[in-house]
Every structure is written in C-alpha cells, then in structure tokens.
Amino acid sequence: MDEKVGPSEMIVHLGPQHPMMPGPFRLNAKLRGETVVDSEVEMGWIHKGIEKILESKTYLQGITIVDRICYLAALTNEEAYVGCVEKLAGIEVPERAQYIRVIMEELSRIQSHLLGMGEYASFVGFVSMFMYTIRDREDVMSLMDSVTGARITHSFLRFGGVKDDLPEGFKDDVKYVFGNLRKAINTYEELFSSDEIYRSRTVGIGVLTPEVAKDIGVSGPPLRATGVAFDIRRDEPYLAYPDLDFKVCTRKEGDVYARVQVRLDEMRESMYIIEQCLDQIPQGPLFPEGTPYGRRSPIMRVPAGEVFHRVEDPRGEMGFYMVSDGSDKPYRVKIRGPVYPTLQGLPPLIKGVRVADIVAIAGSMDTCTSEVDR
C-alpha cells in the first residue's frame, strides 16, 4: 500500500484486536471519505513457532502440537501431519481406521463451519444467529467427544490408524443429532435469504473472481464460491473418499452471500458423507497387522526422505512438507495452510467499498489468524 496520504485521505488501522477479526491481525485501510482506496494486511502478532517446535519433538509428540495450529481444524491438521509420516514409512492405514478418520474429519468440518458462520453473522448484526449455531455446534462436538475424549484438541490420529474405535450406539447418536441439524441449517438458510438488510449487505458485495482467487492461491469455500470446483477430497483423494459419493459444493457469484451459502451446502454434504461411512464401514483392525507403529509406540524412527501431503481443511488446502533424516524427530517441517492466501485476497476485495462493508467481507472469508501465525 502506498503510504502517501492525499489531502482528502486518511489511514485507519483496523486491529490488531477488532470485533470483526477472529484473531489478532491488522488491516490498514486508506480511506477517501467512507471509501477504501487501498489497503494492506499486516500479520505476525502471535508467533507460536509450531514448525520449529515440531522439529524438536518426537513424531508422536507432534500430533498434540499440530492440534494447536488452528483448533477448529485440529483433526485435519493431524491428518496432514500423520499422512506425511505414513508416506515416508510406507504405512497402509486399514479400511476401518480410514472410515473412522473420514467421519471425525467431516464432523470437524461441520463444527468449524457452524462457528465461523455464527461469528460472521454477528459481525453484520445477526447476533442471535451466533447463539443458534453455537447451540448446534455443541451437539456435534459431543459426538466428537464421545469418540476422541476431547472437544477441541483431540490428539486422536495415530500413525497407521486411530486411537480408539467408535463407541457403541454412535450411529444412533449421529442420526439423532443430524435430524436436528438438518432442520437448523434449513432455518439458517431461510433467515439469511429472507432478510432484506442481510441481502443488501451481502449480495454483490466483495466479489472475488476465479482469476484473482487462483492467482493469489485462495482455496476452500472462498474459491468454490467463485465457481471453481477444486476439492482435494475429490481431485487428490485420500483415505476412504474414493469409495464415497459426494459433490463439490460451488456457487458462481463469488460474493459474500455465495461464500456463506457454500458453507451451508458443505455442512449438508458432510452429513451425507458421514452417513455413508456409518452404513458401509467394514470390520477389521485399527492398525496394520504386524507393524511397529501404533498407539503404544512413543519413540519411532522414520526412514530418511522428504514428502509433501495435503488434505482438504475446512478452510481449504492444508499441506505439510516434511524432511526425515532417519531419526526419531522430523528434520524439517514446513506448513502450507489455507488462511494466509485467503487473507491476501482481502485488499483487492475491499478496494472501492465502503468502510461498513469491510466487516461483512472480512468475516465471510472465515479466517483463522492463529493458523497463519503458527
């Protein structure tokens, strides 16, 4: 951003703490009256140093660390990390464990979208919507808790499998929760679509084009809301996804309204995926037979090599690049998360809009600042 300020211009700093931002970052906006003429995103307020921490921990200890990259995507973070080790070590995950992983990661996607959508609604004045989504999110988190023993940071995946099997009665619990959740999502959609003030603040506002999204590297719901049907679960399938029938949810408008609608559609699709998994999950072991890897292997050495593994996070492409030197700790770890490119999409989106629209646009991107500042 050009820091030269004209006689009728001023620079306003939104953040690093601001109600519209779920995490500390600063948006520097140059204004002419109420219109944004230029802006820049300023990151780096947390500095958790997770990549270097991972290089000082054993492979198993790292599972607990990657949960903290973004607690809303803890299980997909684990999948990306554990998947790197499994590729390096040549570990094949048994079918039953694959299905359990898919179930848990799709539940994680649902609870992430519920919280993100509720937070976003409060940014544009729908404060009561946040209470509704949090209520329904608690039911989904209770399902996750019954399997992993935790509600947010799970430490559930293991190299070659999962920590525990599904509990007795889990399928019935899912059926009950999903029955209520489907009705709730329909209600959210009706509330959003029928409110004239909400539509005036979202339809045609903050339009992201497919060209700009691809140039910046945006992925996940913000990209799919532009009409680009890119989803790693389908395009580079992993776990049991090749055996499942699901569609990639897209919209063509690329505006605030479309980004929220994509997440509503994705929650429905995640429920459909989970129901398929529960219907066709096979019996069998949770770990490969006859391997040294499993829940009781705190110290393990991984063959030397390098690998990149990526998965579909609730916010887009989550990838881990890992280098092993044959010891019990990774030699190098580099994380490519989805949120940094998404935040870089803010300046072109808010150029030319009014200040009040910044809140709606930034909130609709559903960012997680702690993932950027890992």
Query: Alpha helices of the chain — where are they, by DSSP H?
Result: 50-54, 59-66, 74-89, 95-123, 127-148, 170-194, 196-202, 210-216, 221-224, 232-235, 256-280, 339-344, 346-350, 355-364, 369-372
Tokens for 179, please give them.
Answer: 């029955």
Tokens for 265, please give them.
Answer: 């559609």
Which residue numbers belong to the known binding site? 51, 70, 335, 368
The CA distances from residue 76 to 31, 211, 351, 360, in Å, are 39, 27, 33, 27
- Taking the alpha carbons at both ends of the chain, their separation in whole angstroms is 25
- 300: helix, strand or coil: coil
Tokens for 190, please give them.
Answer: 């009706």
Which residue numbers belong to the known binding site for Mg(2+)? 51, 335
Cis peptide before 94 (omega within 30 of 0): no
Which residue numbers belong to the known binding site for Ni(2+)? 70, 368
- Pairing type for strands 157-158 and 35-42 reads unpaired
- The Cα 238–Cα 235 span in angstroms is 9
Place of tokens 């973070």: 77
Tokens for 221, please give them.
Answer: 């719901």
- The Cα 296–Cα 159 span in angstroms is 11
Q: What is the longest distance spanned by two Cα atoms in the chain? A: 74
- The phi and psi torsions of 53 (rounded to 5 degrees) equal -60, -40
Q: Are 30 and 5 in contact (CB under 8 A)?
A: yes
Tokens for 306, please give them.
Answer: 């390098």
